[in-house]
Structure 1
Amino acid sequence: MTETGAHRPAEFDAPPLRRLRYFHGQMLGARDFQREQEYYREKLKLRMRALLGYGVVCGLFVEPVGHHHDEGRQAEPAEQTEQAEELGHPEQDGTETEHTRHRAKVRITPGLAVDCDGNEVVVRGGCVIDLWKALPPDERDTDTVWVGVQYAERPVEATRAVYNDACADTSDCEYGWTEECFTVRVTGCEPPADERCDTCCSPCEHKVLWLARIDCADLHEPVREHQIHMNVRRPFGRHVPTVITGVNWIHGHTYTIDEAKALLGTQNEDGGLVVRFSDDVRTDSLRPGVVDLQVIEGGRGNSAGISYMRGEFTEPDVESCEFTQEFRYRQTTRETLQDGDRLTITVRTAFILDRCCRPVDGTHVGGRVPLIDADSHTADTADTTDTTDSEGVARHGGCDVPPSGIGPWTSGTGVGGDVFESWFFVKER
């Protein structure tokens, strides 16, 4: 099978679509109306997952809950009570012992998501989860926990039938309505990733929408905000674009001449500019011309000189590996940047393809892609007006998190392709 053919499904994952055909004198029973309901539900779900995809649409943030939070925030809406009891959430009578009050708890905020079957998962009032009770007993020795939600249904509003079914075992009441709700899922085992290139036609295997990973979790101590990582959640869409998650220089920063030489690998073969991706990219798409280094001369007086600095990919080895999650681009000339120069770095991400042959979403939104290995980076430079945080991102005030509300920052706008642009300045100390 060809590489392109490997992405083609054997058959389209959709049920037979048969709708009720009315005619005069037709006898209809409960099963007929149920099948008619199912027809329209399957049509809506098919349209949702095939045209739009699945994932978190809005909200559904995971927040820490400590003993200082009031009881009102821990109360759960009536429609979620059964799920809460099944999972062993905080006591429903509103009482807590001293032991349970300080246990690890998180809150899922209200929001909307769509699962990979096309079901809408609505969390109206939020809910509080006791991680100890929600975890399966054989997974309570873990220090990493994943929290998610899953579509669920339950019968409600019991009604006594006017006429008994002759085939029924009893004449008890029947539930007259089905309520669409959700169930919280908590696990200590890392959930599998959805490796499908296209979610339109392939069968759905990932029923749970994972919202957060909690690191260094002590189930008997309150969860802190820095332990919760929500970048594991899937944004709503047909596929998750590959983005740039880190670089080894600070955008807009000012480096000394020696620091710039070390960063570019001018005299050190182990140096070079490093770009890291969120997923695999094809090494055969890392070709000459994809990365450009442009020097804009500065200094005193007129500064209009523009030149290109030659370089090459030193990692990865294209012949030995098909995919990579980062590359290193090193300067191949002995040219040294001078005081007042600016180096502009251009990565044409529209030409870098991921494992599904889609372009990397490389728009450098706000210049906020974080620094790789911030602790080992020299940051004591002169004449810089920007401050940098622990991730090595230059802060200009405001916009501490991306528009999605989930950090850390990455490249991309969800469209794909485009050009990643960045720069830094050179100044003598």
Structure 2
Amino acid sequence: MAQRTEAICDGKTIGIESIFTIINGKQINIPEKLNWLREKSRNNELFCPCGCGANLILVAGDRNLREQHFRIKDSDTELECTVVTEGKTSIDSKIVLKCWLDDKLGTGDIDSRVPIRAVDDGTDRKYEFSFLSDKRKLAISYFHDRANITDEKLDVLDMNRQDIKIYYVADIMNGGAEGQFPEWLMKIQSRQGYCLLLSINGIDYNEARLEAVFYDQDLDGLWCETIFADGLLREFEFDDDNTLLFHGADLSSEYDKAWYEFRKKQDIEHDRRIRVQEEREAEHKKRLEEEQKLREEYERQKREREKLLIREREAAEAKKRRAQEEFARNMAEGFEQQDAPVFDADGNRWIKCEFCGKIAMAKEFTFYGGRGHLNLGTCSECSRNNPEATAEINIPHKDRPANRYDPTICPECGARLVERNGRNGRFVGCSSYPRCKYTRSIR
């Protein structure tokens, strides 16, 4: 906290900022003001603002002094003082603003902490202009803490402005939105149109900066801070109508242009989002249509494949039926000849039983084949039940021509030879046994 920064003299509040000014760009203490305050303190005419009655003296003028301030005279230190000390940033900002007004207005009549007693609610509350130039009818109201920005205070200042032009200035720490509604600064913006944010480096006027900003919502409903003027405090000035200028441009006009650009960007972004959404929807629709076409094409090809398979099966079945019909028509003729085996369309060999006349596949015959009996045999039923089929039949031995000898064919009857195990070991015998009893030992 800063030292005591104000005193009461002749019923009027005097702030420590009143001793500072700017001459030719140099920040100095005002000698006349220092001498006047020291004279007042010697005459015990400076009092503590808390009402305790203590006399104050001015501590100022030494260039090595860390802080200019008022302090209680040693003779009054026993008094019960309840003064509220002011924050250092707050008093340093007021010093800077006092120097700014002296520099830009040059009226020499800048008064600080000018009270407005317009609220009669039974309390000792009072409101004040931070600075007032009666000659220029220009006032500055400075807010260090956002908690001090109240509708009541602003309403009182507005009601008592009469023909005075008021500018509201807040400390830079109150700026920023980060998406949140800037409740306190919006109270200023609703009256001024925009907000002025002051940042300082101690009491150095030449390093102080001022930002002009406004707050508005973007398309997502987030609050944005837009800076439309930013520079050294001394680059801001007033024209003859008390219009605030930045590099010669009317700040209100600059605000209008910045606000228009902000809304224009939001409109552009709105249109862009609509286009993107439409493009996404069109792309999604196109993708769905392509997927639908692919599904339809797949289903079409599937139906074509199924139809093709049906046609192929029908063709194969028709071919099989024709082969079976052809086989059936030629079956009788096939069993009359014994030079070539009889096969159906599926490659199954068919045999005719010599005893019962049954015609069936070879798997239903006990044995079959042999010279002159290639397509004839004995069915399983006759082998079990027909005595005639089990009788021994002597087939005359006939030598096969030497050039046609086949070791797997029986030389007696032409039937197949099979390998068997006997009492005297392994041997080869005719498959037409017992009709043919040909055997050959295996060495």
Normalising by the smaller structure, the TM-score range is under 0.3
In terms of fraction of residues, the more helix-rich structure is 2
Task: Tell me the TM-score normalized by structure 1.
Answer: 0.19
Asked which structure has the greater CA Rg, the reply is 2
